[in-house]
Amino acid sequence: MIIKSLNCLGLMGTSTFGGVELALIRTDGLDVLERKKAYVVPYPDEMKEKIRAVLGLNRTVDNNEEKLQKVDMEVSDFYVQLINDFIKETSEIIDVVGIEGITILHNPNQQYTYQLGNGRYIANQTGIKIVTHFRNADIYCGGQGTPISSVYFNALAINEIKPIVYVNISGKTSLTWIGSFGEMIGFDCGPGDNFINNWTSKHAHMDNDYNGRLAISGQVHEKIINSLMHHKFFAQYPPKSAYTGIFSDKAEHLESLSLEDGAATATAFVAEAICYSICLYLPEIPKKVVICGKGAANPTLVRFIRQRLPNIEIIISKEDQIPVETVNAEICAFLSAITEKLVL
Inside any domain, residue 293 = yes
In the chain, the number of structural domains is 2
Inside any domain, residue 265 = yes
Main-chain dihedrals φ then ψ at residue 49, nearest 5 degrees: -70, -35
pLDDT at 26 (0 to 100): 97
Q: Are residues 166 and 300 in the same domain?
A: yes
Domain CATH for 35: 3.30.420.40
Closest residue by Cα to residue 47 from 10, 9, 20:
20
Q: Are residues 136 and 154 in the same domain?
A: no
Letter for the amino acid at 1? M
Inside any domain, residue 17 = yes
Q: Are residues 336 and 301 in the same domain?
A: no
Q: Are residues 156 and 302 in the same domain?
A: yes
pLDDT at 342 (0 to 100): 62
Q: Are residues 69 and 174 in the same domain?
A: no
pLDDT at 300 (0 to 100): 98
Q: Are residues 155 and 214 in the same domain?
A: yes
Q: Are residues 45 and 168 in the same domain?
A: no
pLDDT at 11 (0 to 100): 97
Inside any domain, residue 1 = no
pLDDT at 109 (0 to 100): 87
Letter for the amino acid at 329? A
Q: Are residues 138 and 158 in the same domain?
A: no
Inside any domain, residue 41 = yes
Give 99's contacts (C-beta < 8 A, 6+ positions apart).
10, 11, 12, 79, 117, 119, 122, 130, 131, 132, 332
According to DSSP, the residues that pair with 23 across neighbouring strands are 10, 38
Give 290's contacts (C-beta < 8 A, 6+ positions apart).
164, 165, 166, 167, 315, 316, 317, 320, 322
Q: Are residues 181 and 290 in the same domain?
A: yes
Inside any domain, residue 270 = yes
Q: Which residues, given as ranges, of the chain have pLDDT below 50?
A: 1-2
Q: Are residues 195 and 250 in the same domain?
A: yes
Inside any domain, residue 271 = yes
Q: Is 177:165 a contact under the CB 8 Å cutoff?
A: yes
Q: Which helix (DSSP H) or strand (DSSP E) does residue 115 occupy? A: strand 112-115
Q: Which domain, by its residues, includes 30?
A: 6-145+326-343
Report pTM.
0.94
State the CB neighbour count (10 A cutoff) for residue 57: 18
Q: Are residues 307 and 183 in the same domain?
A: yes
Q: Are residues 158 and 302 in the same domain?
A: yes
pLDDT at 343 (0 to 100): 55
Inside any domain, residue 178 = yes
